[in-house]
């Protein structure tokens, strides 16, 4: 089900305003946009590869590499999340899509919230998973992940912060993510944006106004692993309390990788949540 059998992380490319976005576009039906997290060596494919088969059986599922990640263009140091909000708006325009449901993971959750605030009429329902989007004291795990300097040992340490079940962290997985992180053009933009001395400023950069969040009208499902070391659970509880129409589900035996460590439940809950939204329209 890959678009490029030899290099599955490379999908299609869309150029908007001179900048290219690498993306995967699979399945039919109502469109669902997947926004990945910000771990070192991440791509949309690496983030969502275990979820795409289920989601594409029900929806047109679109998963872009955000600027500075994967095989999309780099913008150098990004100091304002509006760059990614504008990327998504131009990207959807380029695909001729007016409105989507969205899933935002971690960093992607913060971008999803900012996009919902900037373009409320373009979002139907939203799923936020271990999301950024509020300001909180940076966790040691997030500080370490954003401060990643390439080596197999550092990649193993970063992934150990992300996963609850370390048996998933095979040598092959660590090596593949390490190789992705040292691909020419990969580490430089990642380090430029996230690797500075004041990584607390990155948390603030991804945060949206609490008043703006509280005004959002969208039905939202928020998912969080109870053993998440990267994004604090109390921040997500605060987010769920702020939002008018948010349900929160906390997963046992799960770290920051809800979509991987609780894959079957994630796929089922997201599919049902979006399908119920479609039924409500009829």
Which residues carry out catalysis? Answer: 106, 228, 256
For residues 163 and 230, give the distance between their C-alpha atoms in angstroms, rounded to a whole number.
10
- Cβ neighbours of residue 97 closer than 8 Å, sequence gap 6 or more: 31, 62
- Cβ neighbours of residue 261 closer than 8 Å, sequence gap 6 or more: 163, 164, 165, 168, 225, 251, 253, 254, 255
State the chain's maximal CA–CA distance in angstroms.
Answer: 52
Dihedrals phi, psi of 33, to nearest 5 degrees: -105, 125
Strand order in the sheet with 31-35: 12-16, 19-26, 60-64, 31-35, 100-105, 123-129, 220-225, 246-251
For residues 175 and 259, give the distance between their C-alpha atoms in angstroms, rounded to a whole number.
21
Q: Which helix (H) or strand (E) holds 155?
A: helix 152-162
Give the pairing type, strands 123-129 and 246-251. unpaired
For residues 255 and 30, give the distance between their C-alpha atoms in angstroms, rounded to a whole number.
30
The three-point CA angle 52-216-162 to 5° equals: 40
- Cβ neighbours of residue 90 closer than 8 Å, sequence gap 6 or more: 16, 17
Number of other residues whose CB lies within 10 A of the CB of residue 221: 22
């Amino acid at each position: 089900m890959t678009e490029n059998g030899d290099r599955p992380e490379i999908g299609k490319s869309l150029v908007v305003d001179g900048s290219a976005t690498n993306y995967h576009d699979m399945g039919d039906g109502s469109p669902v946009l997947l926004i990945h997290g910000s771990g070192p060596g991440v791509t949309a494919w690496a983030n969502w590869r275990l979820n795409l088969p289920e989601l594409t059986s029900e929806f047109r599922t679109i998963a872009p590499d955000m600027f500075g990640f994967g095989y999309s263009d780099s913008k150098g140091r990004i100091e304002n999340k509006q760059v990614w909000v504008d990327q998504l708006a131009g990207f959807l325009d380029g695909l001729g899509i007016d409105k989507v449901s969205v899933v935002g993971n971690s960093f992607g959750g913060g971008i999803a919230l900012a996009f919902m605030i900037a373009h409320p009429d373009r979002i139907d329902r939203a799923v936020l998973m271990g999301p950024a989007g509020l300001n909180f004291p940076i966790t040691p795990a997030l500080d370490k992940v954003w401060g990643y300097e390439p080596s197999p040992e550092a990649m193993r340490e970063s992934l150990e912060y992300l996963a609850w079940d370390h048996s998933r962290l095979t040598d092959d997985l660590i090596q593949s993510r390490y190789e992705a992180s040292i691909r020419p053009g990969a580490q430089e933009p990642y380090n430029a944006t996230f690797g500075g001395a004041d990584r607390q400023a990155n948390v603030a950069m991804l945060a949206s106004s609490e008043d703006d969040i509280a005004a959002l009208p969208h039905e939202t499902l928020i998912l969080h692993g109870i053993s998440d070391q990267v994004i604090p659970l109390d921040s997500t509880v605060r987010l769920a309390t702020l939002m008018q129409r948010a349900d929160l589900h906390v997963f046992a035996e799960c770290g920051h990788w809800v979509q991987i460590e609780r894959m079957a439940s994630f796929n089922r809950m997201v599919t049902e949540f979006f399908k119920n939204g479609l039924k409500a329209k009829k």
